Structures are given as structure tokens and as C-alpha cells.
Chain A
Amino acid sequence: MEAIYKTPKTLIDTPTHYCPGCGHGIVQRLIAEIIDEMDIRGKTIGLAPVGCAVLAYNYLDIDMCEAAHGRPPSVATGIKRVHPEKIVFSYQGDGDLAAIGTAEIIHTANRGENITVIFVNNAVYGMTNGQMAPTTLINQKTLTTPHGRSEKNDGYPLRVCEILSVIDGSRFIARTSITSPKNIIKTKQLLEKGFKTQIQEKGFSLIEILSPCPVYWRMSSVESLKFIDEEMSKTFPLGIFKDWENQN
């Protein structure tokens, strides 16, 4: 009998350190599936961020590089310029990409750097126990917004896809979620498109994935998925913001 659902070759068969209900495991599995299906394990180099996904290099069986907080796009640039024929992606969280690394992501996109960025947005700093992220929703409670995020004191959730889509150097910008099998399949298609954008040398691609953090949202896993569908998606609408295939 043939197994129709198995561990991808590129995903190391080991327990992860992720909390119950966390989305990182799903996203990293999708990456591994795509690397297997595209048969690019031997020419793919990944960047792990500072944050919950820092140990991604323990789960993906490819060459990987850790980067300082916020700096993966610059490190990825340095790698890609040396190996333009390799496929280079950075895997980043919201604090890494949209707070401390805002300059790096904007300028890397603006240079049209031919890399793929996988941006996992869970609206909270998970690794440091749940402080406000740049993408925390208005009124959302975190350790550092105990009365809820106030626009007056804390500003507004930062919409990365909307910002990057008006930058001339970006080529493929999309936001998706992993709240249902349908959305996970859609996410995989968008990630594939990101890699395809790079392989065809079209330039900078970024896929933002709305992802649950039940532990630091103080919700059950099911409530977390509902929160993404009903609340988070209002501030961060899903969709394709820029696509080189639909540009004149």
C-alpha cells in the first residue's frame, strides 16, 4: 500500500520546540514539501530569524544561516549576490521583519533583490513571552499592552504587504492564512509562486502568512483560528497585492 501522506524528505523527522497550536510547523512543512516537489534541496539556502523560528535550521534539511534580529533580508542579499543561481529565502516573524528590520525589508524589496521572504505574522512576540508586535491589532491585549493596544500610545498595526506593494522593486506580494485545509493549500500555492518568482529571476517576492499563537493570545487553538478569520483578516485582508504575471 502506498503512503499518501508522509514526512517530506527535506523536513527532518524530529519533534519541534513549537507550542501546541502554533503555525510555524505547518509553514515549515509546506516549505519542505515545495523543496521536495521542485527538487531544489541541493540548491536552496534558508535564513532563520531571531524569534520563535530561530531553530528552523534544526527542522529543514538544507543549508541554513541564522541572522541577527531584523537582518535576514541583508544576510540573504549577501548570500544571493555570491550565489545568484541558488534559491535563497528568508523566514521571518513580525517583530523581526516589521519592527527592528523594517529598513532592511523595505530596501531589499526596493533593490528588487531576487529572494523570497516568508513572513509569518502572528501579531505577537512569542519567543519573549507575548509582548506587542508591530502587527498587534488595536485593542489586542499583550504583556506590554495589558489594556489593549491603543492607537494613541502604540500606533497602528503595520500592513507590510500594502507598503511593499507600492515599492517599484517588489514583484510578488501576497497575504494568506493557514486557518483551514483550504487556506493551507492556498498558502502552499502562494509559496510556490514565491519560489517560482525567484527561479524565473523576476525579483523580490514576499508571502505574509497569518498564523496562530494560541499560547500568547491566551486562546484555544480553535479560538485562535477563528480570531484570524474573524478579526485579524479585517486588519490584514488576504489576497495578492502585486503579481508580476498580471503587470503590463
Chain B
Amino acid sequence: MTSTEKNKKYLLTGNEACAEAAIQAGCRFYYGYPITPQNEILTHMAIRMPQVGGTFIQVESELAAINMVYGSAAAGARTMTSSSGPGISLKQEGISYLAGSELPCVIVNIQRGGPGLGDISPSQADYFQAVKGGGHGDYHTIVLAPGSVQEAADLVFDAFDLADCYRNPVMILGDAQLGQMMEPVVFNKKCKPNLYKKDWALTGADGRKKNIIKSFYPVKGELEKFNAKLQKKYRQIKAEEVRYEEINIENADIVIVAYGTCARICKEFLKKDQSLNVKVGLIRPITLWPFPADIIQKVSERVQAILTVEMSAGQMVEDVRLSVSGRCPVHFYGRTGGGIPTPKEILKKISEIVSVKVKGTCAT
């Protein structure tokens, strides 16, 4: 691949689509370290960056990668790194500094099984790490969860705009399945790298006052003031940037909440399974932070139950429960360590929920 044409379909892995979309979005500085299942991002960048006059460095560590991203972001450029599980853990220090210095960047996180070295199969066990901060301090990254290769590409475009708009790191949270599978993808979004003026960037203080990029506030009261500013920004993001997809939720008896790969499986289940005598809908969060709490709260007021399906031991379900606040029962079905829920398993779980409901009805 040497360039992309508008409207032309390319058959790419999710990883390659993320890498190419970043280039199309004006990212010219990528720093990465090999780790499966996201290696195709590095290899694509290694080929493409020199073609577009960009920089690709295979670094000595994830620490170096995220700190080079910090430097390029501070210098005013669109910049990206990517990794998985163990590598993302190492990047957390830098992500905290990026958030604390209000620097825009994109981090692609293609989740694998954990904890520890885990394995390289699909997982959603790094949800907490992604949406609750991950590093030290009160901060958030914006977290976008694509459900297809096309959506991965589109969200990478949006990620760069969101990062620049809010001066905040944005994470694309996929998994091994999304990263490795191939689907047709078109690159039709426009590159808007100069949409936001970066008069805070380090460019040499020629004819102006100096700029300082920092997250250190040693004078009493300064840090609290800065944190208040950050929280105000996060409230604005929560108010304006929530995204989700809903399917058949109007008349649903039971609503499934699932994201990414799990949402795809649930969609298959909704399409195929007509054997249930309950109506099942789906809410698919696209932004995991900010979380689509309002719509989940709204449906919880009228459905019999909510089922959260994840490739984890139960992480997003905590945010679902917070949104529901006891208005309806919240059930959970999850697989861990590379296990992927099947439509059949989801059917079984829903049957159980329904039978519990029926039993409950008899008891009264």
C-alpha cells in the first residue's frame, strides 16, 4: 500500500486500518514496540511513514514510545503509539503525564488476555485500565471502542480531532479479534490536522513569550485549581461526546449492553435467534469514557432486565450497574482468558434470566 484513493475498498486487518487511518488523519509521528496482537500497526507504519515524510521509530521500550509521543505532542504534532496489555501497563506513567500536561495524542490498545503475560487471544479485561484512568491521579482518557475494521478506521480519524479539541489523550480500545481480522474498509474521512490552533506548543519562543509544558504544581493550591480545570473539561466531554449504537431497544424486554467484539456477537444473536418469547435489544457503547450512562438509565426504567456481555470477569458491568442504580436487575455473562462468548451461550443466559423472572412471578 503506498497511498489510498477515495471510495476505494481496501481489505485490511483492524490493525492496518488503524495505522492507515492515522496517516490519513495527519499523524506523522508514530513510536512503537512489538507486541502481539498489534504488530501490524508497527509494520504498516514502518512502510508508510517514510512515504509520507513522517517519522517511525521502533523504540527500546513502551516507556520510550509514550514519552516520544509526549514530546511530539508537546511540539504540536499529531502523534500516536499502540500496544497491548503488558505494553499498555508500561505506558500508564506516560499517559498520566500526557493527561496532566493536557497533551493530545492517540493510543491504540489492542487488548489481549491477562493478567501478567496472559496470552495473545481476544480479551476485554483491560476496560478498567482504559476507562478509569490506569495511571496515577484524577484523569480520564477518551476511550473509543470500534466494532468493525471500518469503524476502527473512522474512529481513529475522530480520535485525532477529539484529542486536539480537548487537549487530551484518546484511546482506541480494540481486541485481538478486531486487530487481526480482515474486512473491507474505505478511507473517506477528511484530514483536519490544522482544525485546532496549538499556540501552546513548543516551537521555540521566537518573538513571543515562552511556552511551558508541565504537570508539576508545587505551590499550595495551584494543583487543586488545575484539577478543577481538568474536571470541568471532563464534564464537558461527558456532556458532548457520548456515542452509542442502539438496536431494538424501544419495545425490548431485555437489553444487552456490549461493546466491540462482544457487541458483534450479540448483533449476530439478535439477527438469528427468534426462538425466544422475549424481545431483546442492544446498546453498544462506542465511547466507553464518557460512558453512555443516560440511555442505559432510561431503558432501565422500563425493561425487565439488562444483560452485560463482556470478554472479562465483569468490568463494564460495574458502569452499567452505576447507570441503572437498582432500577432493574443487571445480569452478567463473561468469558475470560481468550474465551469468546457465542450466540448460543448468550441465548442460554437470556433463557436463564427469563426463567428466573417467571419463577419470581409464580412466587408472588
Contacts and interface: CB of A to CB of B under 8 A. Distances in A.
Interface centre among B55, B71, B77, B218 (most CB of A within 10 A): B71
B74 A65 contact: yes
Contact of A104 (B57, B64, B72, B97): B64
Contact of A86 (B31, B59, B203): B203
Contact of A74 (B63, B73, B203, B204): B63
Given A67-B70, A104-B64, A81 B55 contact: yes
Contacts of A81: 29, 55, 57, 68, 71-72
B93 interface: yes
Given A63-B210, A65-B213, A78-B70, 8 more contacts: A44-B204, A57-B212, A68-B70, A74-B64, A79-B71, A79-B75, A104-B63, A106-B60
Q: Which bucket holds chain B's interface residue count?
A: 35 or more
B67 interface: yes
Interface string A65-102: 11110110011111111110010000000000000000
Contacts of A111: 57
Contacts of A42: 204-207
A138 interface: no
B202 interface: yes
Contacts of B55: 81
A62 B205 contact: yes
Interface of B: 29, 31, 55, 57, 59-61, 63-65, 67-77, 79, 93-94, 97, 101, 202-207, 210-216, 218
A48 B215 CA distance: 12
A152 to B, nearest CB: 29
Interface in A12-58: 41-45, 48, 54-55, 57
A45 B204 contact: yes
A167 interface: no
A45 B203 CA distance: 7
B139 to A, nearest CB: 14
A196 interface: no
B60 A65 contact: no
Interface of A: 41-45, 48, 54-55, 57, 61-68, 70-71, 74-83, 86, 103-104, 106-107, 111
B72 A66 contact: no
20 contacts: A41-B206, A62-B205, A63-B211, A64-B210, A65-B212, A66-B212, A66-B213, A67-B71, A68-B70, A71-B63, A78-B70, A78-B71, A78-B73, A78-B79, A81-B57, A81-B68, A83-B75, A83-B203, A83-B204, A86-B203
Nearest to B101: A66
Given A68-B67, A74-B71, A79 B202 contact: yes
A45 B71 CA distance: 11
A82 B29 contact: yes
Max chain A Cβ within 10 angstroms of own Cβ: one of B77, B94, B211, B213: B213
A173 to B, nearest CB: 19
A34 B352 CA distance: 76
Contacts of B202: 45, 63-65, 79, 83
A78 B214 contact: no
A54 B213 CA distance: 12
A67 B67 CA distance: 8
B78 to A, nearest CB: 10
Nearest to B211: A63
A117 to B, nearest CB: 14
A78 B29 contact: yes
Contact of A77 (B71, B73, B94, B212): B71
Nearest to B204: A43
B205 A68 contact: no
A65 B102 CA distance: 12
B216 A78 contact: no
Nearest to B105: A78
Contacts of A54: 216
A41 B203 CA distance: 11
